[in-house]
């Protein structure tokens, strides 16, 4: 066991140390973990007072604790660590979905991220009256929203 998984355990220790020391991550981090961490960094942030906040919609974790409603799909990523124990308590200890998967889920997550960002940039462009950019973004959005074959 140790021999077989020896390398993996070693790597995990390295990662932990690296994180503790504030150094960069080990090189062999699986790609999906990298992506998840990337998304975490992208969408989760901490305010000046050390409060968790969702970068996408501005929802604070304390607001969620007050009314039990999250602000947007990204909140699940931004608050993942704080949410997980709460979810497990509410859901009989479950921590993963079992059941129906939408047929268009294949590239779903990436598309969702992309759509979210494009929409955000679009409203910023409209707000700053940059109509040229807005038109381009709208075209992009339309293209991505077409059902995929």
Could you list the residues that contact other proteins (CB under 8 A)? 56-59, 67-73, 76, 83, 86-87, 90-105, 108-109, 111-112, 115-116, 118-119, 145, 147
72 CB-side CA count, 13 A: 17
Name the residue nearer to other proteins (CB basis): 1 or 89. 89
Q: How far is the CB of 145 from other proteins (least distance, A)?
A: 7
Name the residue nearer to other proteins (CB basis): 18 or 101. 101
Name the residue nearer to other proteins (CB basis): 120 or 136. 120
Q: How far is the CB of 112 from other proteins (least distance, A)?
A: 4
């Amino acid at each position: 066991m140790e021999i077989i998984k020896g390398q993996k355990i070693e790597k995990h220790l390295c990662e932990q140390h690296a994180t503790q020391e504030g150094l960069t991550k080990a090189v062999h981090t699986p790609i999906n973990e990298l992506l998840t961490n990337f998304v975490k960094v992208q969408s989760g942030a901490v305010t000046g007072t050390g409060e968790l906040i969702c970068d996408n919609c501005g929802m604070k974790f304390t607001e969620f604790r007050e009314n039990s409603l999250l602000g947007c799909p990204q909140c699940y990523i931004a608050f993942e660590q704080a949410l997980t124990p709460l979810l497990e308590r509410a859901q009989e200890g479950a921590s993963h979905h079992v059941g129906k998967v939408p047929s268009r889920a294949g590239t779903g997550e990436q598309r969702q991220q992309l759509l979210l960002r494009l929409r955000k940039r679009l409203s910023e462009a409209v707000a700053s009256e940059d109509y040229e950019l807005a038109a381009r973004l709208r075209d992009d959005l339309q293209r991505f929203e077409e059902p995929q074959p």
